[in-house]
Amino acid sequence: MSESGIAASIGIDIGASKANIGVLDANGVVLAKSKVDIRGFKTDSDATLEAICLETAKVVDGAGIAMDRIGFVGLGVPGTVDSASGRILYAPNLGWRDVGVEERFRRHFGRTAGLVQDARAAALAECLLGAGRGEPVVVCLTLGTGIGAGIILGGKIYNGGFNTSGEVGHMIVQQDGEPCGCGRSGCLEAYASGTAIVRAARRLGKWNGVPGMDKAETVFEKARAGDGDARGIVERAARYLGIGIVNIVNILSPNVVIISGGMCEQEDLLIRPVREYVAVNAYPLAVESGAFRIVRAALGEDAPMIGAALLYRGL
């Protein structure tokens, strides 16, 4: 039994196409896991939560885990949550607005339940068990269709005054710059997200009809193969990501900045140039100690599920 009195817990991460469900022991070891495809009904929050509850019971049962060992159920969601009321305020990719979850889970599972934004769950997991282990100030960026971040201070999730901490994708990195999906312009997300990279490639016109050009990965491949246009797009993304991280570093002075999400695999074309840009352009004392690091995430796509399961340690 752990210090918290919780021997095992359930973590659920709702994404845009599937829910990732896991049962973890108190050390963060995944005892069992499963996925539910929610594409057919995800905009219906009742149906989605119902399907998740059913699958969770199956996972626990199938793995032969005694339900009385489980002390906590955590849910990570792609949106803004109000931890105090246990409600999802807004999850644009699911189309959910003001959905109560904690109370529902508490009733269903008969366990303490918790709710957390997925980027913060991933950051907590990386801080407790991954690339930010033991560091006092951890910022974990998720680069995907959008850009978000979780901030972990002293092992606890930092939510901010209005629960909107870590909205780094909407940091303004260019005055009157590229239009962003949020309706404003010049946001980091409009330059350095997967969506932005794909859009920049499409705008060039030269790859019309070429398969795979709806994925940022393909643009990175073309850049790696020597295509000058693709290289330009990728370099622009890396430059603005560098500016974004400089700004985070100069405000927060993190010990480690972790890059997660699919794009974190792009070590040569993205992570290394960003590291070099930050080393030269951030406030010197913040990055010169040798202890400051920009690193790739260690836990992969399970990070938000793991962080949700261990949320009781990060509150």
Kindly determine how many residues on this chain lie close enough to bind a second copy according to the rule CB under 8 A: 51
User: Is 162 near a second copy (CB under 8 A)?
Assistant: yes
The residue within the footprint of a second copy, chosen from 116, 219, 243, 303 (CB under 8 A), is: 243
User: Is 136 near a second copy (CB under 8 A)?
Assistant: yes
Q: With contacts defined by CB under 8 A, name the span among 17-25, 121-129, 218-226, 251-259 that binds a second copy.
A: 251-259
The rounded distance, in Å, linking the Cα atoms of 70 and 108 is 13
Q: What is the CA 309 to chain-centroid distance, rounded?
A: 15
Whole-number minimum distance, CB 83 to a second copy, in Å? Answer: 13
Closest CA to 214 of 202, 222, 226: 202
The residue within the footprint of a second copy, chosen from 53, 58, 69, 80 (CB under 8 A), is: 80
Tokens of 117: 């934004």
User: Is 295 near a second copy (CB under 8 A)?
Assistant: no
The residue within the footprint of a second copy, chosen from 239, 295, 296, 298 (CB under 8 A), is: 239
User: Is 163 near a second copy (CB under 8 A)?
Assistant: yes
User: Is 42 near a second copy (CB under 8 A)?
Assistant: no
Kindly write out the interface string for residues 84-113 of this chain, putting x where it contacts a second copy by CB under 8 A and - elsewhere: -----xx-----------------------
The residue within the footprint of a second copy, chosen from 251, 268, 300, 315 (CB under 8 A), is: 251
User: Is 161 near a second copy (CB under 8 A)?
Assistant: yes
The residue within the footprint of a second copy, chosen from 11, 86, 146, 166 (CB under 8 A), is: 166
Cα atoms found within 13 Å of the Cα of residue 153, Cβ hemisphere only: 7
Whole-number minimum distance, CB 22 to a second copy, in Å? Answer: 29
The rounded distance, in Å, linking the Cα atoms of 65 and 69 is 7
The residue within the footprint of a second copy, chosen from 159, 193, 218, 260 (CB under 8 A), is: 159
The residue within the footprint of a second copy, chosen from 7, 30, 53, 252 (CB under 8 A), is: 252
The rounded distance, in Å, linking the Cα atoms of 254 and 292 is 8
Whole-number minimum distance, CB 172 to a second copy, in Å? Answer: 5
Whole-number minimum distance, CB 122 to a second copy, in Å? Answer: 17
Contact set with a second copy (CB under 8 A): 80, 89-90, 135-137, 149, 151, 153, 158-168, 170-175, 182, 184, 239-240, 243, 246-248, 250-256, 280-283, 285-287, 289, 291-292
